[in-house]
């Protein structure tokens, strides 16, 4: 790779190395009874992008793990050995082209999997998967992070894609997933996929979408699966023109599919909203009450992915990037294809990254946790404007019952990744536990993992794990207690 | 390790992580026909020292490798899994006490090997060894850097120690080593150890030393082995008082043993010099001409190891730290126990680190390569005084035939490690090749590996390998071409 040193900007720059650190340096005290592993799926390009207008979402996947035990933390980072990674490694250069457009890749690899495995880690059935929504999950050893390979669930999975946001039902232990563009690029096939506790595919429900669009997340209730479309659209013509997979269509309305978990394709109901409701990228939680399905989620009024253009080439409106928290109620007793909307929270620059206490998936719940851009912190005034990408600088806790809010800031000139909730112990009440996540300390040029009391986030970090370098950019994380995954 | 973040000062601070980087970023162009591996033995404490007055030489060993092929470089760093490392890892804390004084270690580990394996790497008989002079060599896999374990040459080695500076005879392929304190701490037993090309012990020659002292390096000729003592002395009383192993005795004279390679203990001759000749730490080269043995080496007038005190507690004189290059001639036809001395070079702040084109070991030779502290570079004025340890900032090439000198500087605010000579190809003339070594770029807070044309070092680096972090402190290095070690 002689002569090439442009590797992405600022804190999006890749690490391009793998590390093992045992007995990490800790400031403060880690709870000695905290036993488990925090996984992160990260984006870390081995080679500079083939095209300057590409997105960091097209970076090679890498998985980090922080293993907590007896007041200690061990760290490990490894690239995911995807077919794409291995092909470029062997060639010592970039071969794969623009984001999700294999027509722009080197002819030698157009039929090789373009999977980056860079979005979300999950432990299910004792396996670690790192997932990217247009491809199969990639199985990895949850202890060594060695790559096992793309996983088709012993030949039972018939989709070519798999969401990066499957949900685990806390009561049944099932994993419920879906696939869009499920039979190939630009196809309008959707499939809901249901796996038992051990990871065996038990049902798939196939149907069609009214719009081929990014469908990044989903929600489940004890009886239903909820699949929102977005206004990020694609077409075979775009791909043949050599463009990135997605463009934002400001005229595209929101659609939501409600699928009974025990139903068939005939039972799928589609609801239709407005274009202002079509940027629901991550869900918070959902439940079914009687014949009403209730979904809560942050929803933006505009495409906030700065790497994806508008279909008509016009400029987007940054004032509409920041989501409001909304509650949508779908009445299954009604024949109407619309829903009721309630705005739960507005007025701060929260992001679409929304997490919760996952033991309350499908249930009435109280707290959600988000990243936000807090304009009262100097970083946004003095520093963030000089960065190539927007940086979140605080965590935000929202009380869905009272509307109460709380903030945690790691301090001036720090960026922050998505929080991960950890229950204090398996029997703890909702929200009683910790938020854990990675912070970038720009002045010290290093990353730190912070642990915050989730019931008292404004009090600051209980403990910080000091890394000797800056970590690569995380997308999503996962917590596996040692009850879920013994070590 | 909660609450402890003091990990050594400045660039002596350990990395405390292991990394793999493939296809490192390169500025400039690496020669495409350069195929081989540059190994470095490094000092990288897993845990902070038990005693604040300890030396960094008491740090855990780690080995780095830079593998060059087809214009690419891959990097890997791994701790050496010594018994000491494994014991502290299991305890999650420091257990081993002051440098080479097991009486200061935790009682649970006093009988565990104190080997740090942190000084010199070598490839012999297809094995990688990382060596520390008071212990056995530690064998490692030369490709993965996995530790095999302490190596007693299939039970044939009877010493408890082994120099970190064995020599490989370029004509016979033999490895010639020695051991001091060879039967245990403070013992006056010496042994010369001769191994064949495959690494089998073929001879050991046992004898006594007139002074139990540090004997860090050796030299060989086609007929003789040369072993200099130093004025760094020890005693059982020192150890029982809980002190570091070494203290400098300014009254201790130099002694040199000349041992015929085919002789026995009866053939050993001891020569005696002055205290001003007793700080010969590293040799350059030696040869036998008729019945004269000629040794060339940098020799200081004072202990320059700032971590080791004088025996009487007085202050040392920094003006006497920097060695002069000397030629010593031992006349075996004479009955006198003294030698002739010629000063080859004086007047610059060269260090005791001296390397050469190892294909010329035992032979008349022309070039040696040293680290130096160049006072004409601003780093020494503006920066180095603020560091906790002295920093070398240039390489120095000396022409032993003409007295000519040349310098390479990586630039202002850069430190530099020992150079390693690499022949351009196996048939190249002496000195025709490259110098390779690691540079610390203090402003960019990272390390860079530089490759310099050894015949034209003042022209600057041909290529730089840009590391994403600062590397740990190297002691010595080794080059294995792919002819020596195929990969």
Q: Would you list the DSSP string of A368-407?
A: EEEEE--TTSHIIIIIGGGSSS----EEEEEETTT--EEE
Cβ atoms A247, A309 nearer than 8 A: yes
Q: Does A52 touch chain B (CB under 8 A)?
A: no
Q: Which residue of B has its CA nearest to A469?
A: B469
Out of B2, B19, B26, the one facing A26 most closely (by C-beta) is B2
Residue B60, pLDDT above cutoff 50:
yes
- Decide if B468 and A469 are in contact by the 8 Å CB cutoff: yes
Closest to A465 in 3D by CA, of A67, A145, A142 = A67
> Is A87 near chain B, with CB under 8 Å?
no
Inter-chain CB proximity B18 and A17 less than 8 Å: no
Residue B22 neighbours by CB distance under 10 Å: 18
Distance from CA of B464 to the nearest CA of A (A): 10
In angstroms, the CA A34 to CA B267 distance is 66
Least CA distance to A70: which residue of chain B? B92
Verify whether the Cβ–Cβ distance A17 to B72 is below 8 Å.
no
| Residues facing residue A70 across a β-bridge | none
Question: Torsion angle of alpha carbons B42, B47, B53, B55, nearest 10°?
Answer: -10
Asked if B18 lies within 8 A of A16 by C-beta distance, the reply is: no
Lowest-pLDDT range, A103-112, B6-15, B28-37, B213-222? B6-15
Burial class (CB in 10 A: 0-12, 13-18, 19+), B188: middle
| Confidence at residue B14, expressed as pLDDT on a 0 to 100 scale | 81
Question: Nearest Cα to B388, choosing from B7, B14, B10, B15?
Answer: B10
Closest among A18, A35, A24, A23 to A465, alpha carbons compared? A24
Phi and psi torsions of A265, nearest 5°: -60, -25
How far is it, in rounded angstroms, from Cα A306 to Cα A304?
A: 6
Q: What is the DSSP letter of A300?
A: B
Of A419, A365, A371, A411, the residue nearest A391 (C-alpha): A371
Phi, psi of B465 (to 5 degrees): -95, 115
Q: Which residues from chain B sit within 8 angstroms of residue A47, using beta carbons? A: 23
Instruction: Measure the CA–CA gap between B230 and B243, rounded to whole angstroms.
Output: 19
Task: Give which of B468, B470, B472 to mutate to test A binding, by max A Cβ within 10 Å.
Answer: B468
Tell me what pLDDT residue A7 has. Answer: 38
CB-CB: which of A25, A71, A72 is closest to B4? A25
Virtual torsion, Cα B228, B230, B236, B240, nearest 10 deg: -140
B21–A contact, CB cutoff 8 A = yes
Cβ distance of A46 and B22 shorter than 8 Å: yes
- Are B26 and A1 an interchain contact pair (Cβ–Cβ within 8 Å)? yes
Tokens 């002694």 — which residue? B255
What pLDDT sits at residue A386? 53
Put simply, whether B126 touches A (Cβ < 8 Å) is no
The torsion of the CA quartet B469, B474, B479, B485, rounded to 10 degrees, works out to: -80
Q: Binning pLDDT at 50, 70 and 90, where does residue B386 land? A: low
**Cβ pair A28:B1 closer than 8 A:** no
The pLDDT tens digits along chain A (487 residues) read 333 333 355 556 788 899 999 999 999 999 999 999 999 999 999 998 999 889 989 999 999 999 999 999 999 999 999 999 999 999 999 999 999 999 999 999 999 999 999 999 999 999 999 999 999 999 999 999 999 999 999 999 999 999 999 999 999 999 999 999 999 999 999 999 999 999 999 999 999 999 999 999 999 999 999 999 999 999 999 999 999 999 999 999 999 999 999 999 999 999 999 999 999 999 999 999 999 999 999 999 999 887 899 999 898 888 888 899 999 999 999 999 999 999 999 988 888 999 999 999 999 999 999 999 887 775 554 555 555 456 788 999 999 999 999 999 998 778 899 999 999 999 999 999 999 999 988 777 789 999 999 999 999 999 999 998 889 899 999 999 999 999 9
- A26, A46, A75 ranked by CB distance to B23: nearest: A46
Give the span between the Cα atoms of B462 and B452, in whole angstroms: 5
Do A66 and A434 form a contact (C-beta atoms < 8 A)?
no
What counts of helices (H) and strands (E) characterise chain A?
A: 3, 33
pLDDT at residue number A305: 84
Query: Is A3 in contact with B72 (Cβ distance < 8 A)?
Result: no
Angle at A474 between CA A386 and CA A114, to 5 degrees: 110
Q: Do residues A224 and A258 touch, judged by C-beta distance below 8 A?
A: yes
Find where tokens 């004997």 sit.
B215
What pLDDT score was predicted for residue A446?
Answer: 83
> Which of A15, A16, A80, A471 to substitute to test the interface with B, most B CBs within 10 Å?
A16
Would you place residue B2 in the very low, low, confident or very high pLDDT band (cuts 50, 70, 90)? Answer: very low
Tokens representing residue B441 in the block: 């770029």
Report the phi/psi class of residue A125: left, alpha or beta, with left for phi > 0 and alpha for psi in -120 to 50: left
> Which residue's structure tokens are 């014949």?
A291
Is this model's pTM higher than 0.90 or not?
no
Q: Pick from A12, A62, A74, A142: which is nearest to B17 by CA?
A: A74
* pLDDT value for A158: 98
Tokens 């212990």, residue? B135
Contact B483/B426 with Cβ under 8 angstroms? yes
Q: Is A24 on the interface with B (CB under 8 A)?
A: yes
Q: Cα separations (Å) of A16 from A79, A472, B74, B419?
A: 9, 9, 11, 26
Note whether A186 and A168 are within 8 A (CB): no
How many beta carbons lie within 10 A of that of residue B5, not counting itself? Answer: 12
Nearest-neighbour CA in chain B from A62: distance (Å) = 13
Q: Are B333 and B259 within 8 A, CB to CB? A: no
**Interface contact B6, partner A, CB < 8 A:** no
B469 CB neighbours in chain A (<8 A) are 17, 468-469
Three-state SS for A224?
Answer: strand
Strand, helix or coil at B321?
A: coil
Whether residue B8 has pLDDT greater than 60: no
The conformation of residue A189, written as its DSSP 8-state character, comes to E
- Nearest chain A Cα distance for residue B196, angstroms: 37
> CB–CB of A21 and B26 under 8 A?
no
CATH topology of domain B2-481: Methylamine Dehydrogenase; Chain H (2.130.10)
* Mutation site for B-interface testing, chosen from A17, A64, A74 by largest number of B Cβ within 10 Å: A17
Whole-number Å distance between alpha carbons of A253 and A260: 23
Q: Do residues B78 and B58 make contact, with C-beta atoms less than 8 angstroms apart?
A: no
Provide the token pair at B117.
Answer: 């394996």
Scan residues 416-445 of A and list those with Cβ closer than 8 Å to B. 445
* Touching A: B residues 217-256, CB under 8 Å: none
pLDDT at B413: 75
pLDDT in tens, B307-359: 899 999 898 888 888 899 999 999 999 999 999 999 999 988 888 999 999 99
- Look up the ipTM and state it: 0.72
A72–B contact, CB cutoff 8 A: yes
Euclidean distance between the first and the last CA atom of chain A, given in angstroms as a whole number = 39
Mutation to test the B interface, candidates A3, A4, A23, A72, most B Cβ within 10 Å: A23
- Cβ-Cβ contacts under 8 Å, B19 against chain A: 17-20
Taking the CA of residue B90 and the nearest CA in chain A, the distance in Å comes to 10
Burial grade of A181 (CB within 10 A; 0-12, 13-18, 19 or more): buried
- For B445, the closest chain A residue by CA position comes to A445
If you average pLDDT over every residue of chain B, what do you get?
Answer: 93
Q: Is A446 on the interface with B (CB under 8 A)?
A: no
- CA distances to B17, B145, B352, B475 from B39, rounded to whole Å, are 17, 10, 20, 11
Q: Mind telling me how many Å the CA of A220 is from chain B's nearest CA?
A: 40
Write the residue in A1, A23, A463 that is nearest to B72 by C-beta: A1
- For residue B20, the chain A residues in CB contact (below 8 A) are 17-19
Q: Which strands make up the sheet holding B189-195, listed edge to edge?
A: B167-168, B175-179, B189-195, B201-208
**CA–CA separation, A448 vs A31, rounded Å?**
17
Chosen from A7, A25, A67, A467 to mutate, greatest number of chain B CBs within 10 A: A25
Predicted pLDDT of residue A389: 56
Cα A197 to Cα A238: distance, rounded to the nearest angstrom: 40
Distance from C-alpha of A278 to C-alpha of A258, rounded to nearest angstrom: 16
Cβ-Cβ pairs closer than 8 A, A with B, add up to 95
**3-state class (DSSP) for residue B238:** helix
CA distances from B405 to B325, B349, B361 (A): 12, 13, 21
Determine how many CB atoms are found less than 10 A away from the CB of residue A236: 12
Q: Which of A71, A466, A468 sits opposite B469 (nearest CB)?
A: A468
């Amino acid at each position: 790779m002689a002569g090439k040193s442009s590797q992405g900007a600022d804190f999006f720059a890749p690490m391009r190395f793998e590390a093992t650190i045992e007995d990490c340096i800790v400031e403060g005290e880690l709870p000695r009874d905290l036993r488990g592993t925090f996984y992160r799926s990260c984006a870390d390009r081995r080679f500079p992008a083939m095209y300057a207008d590409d997105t960091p979402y097209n970076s090679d996947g890498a998985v980090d793990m922080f293993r907590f035990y007896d007041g200690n933390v061990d760290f490990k980072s490894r690239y995911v050995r995807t077919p794409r990674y291995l092909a470029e490694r062997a060639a010592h250069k970039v071969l794969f082209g623009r984001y999700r457009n294999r027509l722009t890749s080197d002819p030698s690899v157009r039929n090789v999997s373009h999977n980056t495995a860079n979005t979300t880690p999950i432990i299910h059935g004792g396996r670690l998967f790192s997932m990217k929504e247009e491809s199969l999950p990639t199985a990895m050893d949850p202890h060594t992070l060695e790559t096992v390979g793309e996983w088709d669930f012993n030949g039972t999975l018939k989709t070519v894609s798999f969401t990066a946001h499957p949900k685990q039902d806390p009561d049944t232990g099932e994993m419920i997933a879906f696939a869009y563009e499920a039979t190939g690029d630009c196809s309008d096939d959707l499939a809901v996929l249901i796996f038992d506790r051990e990871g065996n595919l038990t049902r798939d429900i196939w149907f069609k979408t009214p719009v081929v669009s990014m469908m990044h997340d989903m929600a489940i209730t004890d009886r239903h699966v909820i699949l929102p479309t977005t206004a990020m659209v694609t077409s075979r013509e775009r791909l043949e023109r050599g463009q990135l997979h997605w463009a934002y269509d400001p005229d595209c309305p929101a659609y939501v599919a409600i699928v009974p978990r025990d139903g068939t394709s005939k039972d799928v109901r589609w609801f239709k909203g407005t274009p202002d409701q079509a940027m629901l990228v991550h869900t918070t939680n959902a439940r079914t009450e009687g014949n009403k399905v209730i979904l809560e989620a942050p929803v933006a009024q505009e495409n906030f992915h700065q790497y994806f253009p508008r279909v008509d080439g016009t400029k987007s409106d940054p004032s509409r990037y920041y989501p409001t928290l909304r509650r949508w109620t779908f009445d299954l007793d009604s024949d109407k294809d619309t829903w009721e909307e309630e705005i739960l929270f507005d007025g701060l620059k929260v992001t679409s990254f929304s997490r919760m206490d996952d033991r309350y998936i499908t249930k009435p719940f109280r707290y959600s946790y988000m990243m936000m851009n807090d304009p009262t912190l100097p970083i946004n005034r003095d520093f963030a404007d000089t960065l190539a990408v927007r940086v979140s600088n605080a965590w935000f806790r929202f009380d869905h019952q009272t509307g109460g809010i709380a903030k945690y800031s790691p301090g001036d000139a720090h960026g922050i990744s998505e929080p991960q909730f950890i229950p204090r112990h398996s029997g703890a009440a909702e929200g009683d536990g910790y938020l854990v996540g990675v912070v970038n300390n720009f002045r010290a040029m290093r990353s730190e993992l912070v642990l915050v009391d989730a019931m008292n986030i404004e009090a600051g970090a209980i403990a910080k794990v000091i890394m000797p370098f800056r970590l690569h950019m995380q997308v999503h994380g996962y917590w596996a207690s040692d009850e879920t995954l013994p070590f």
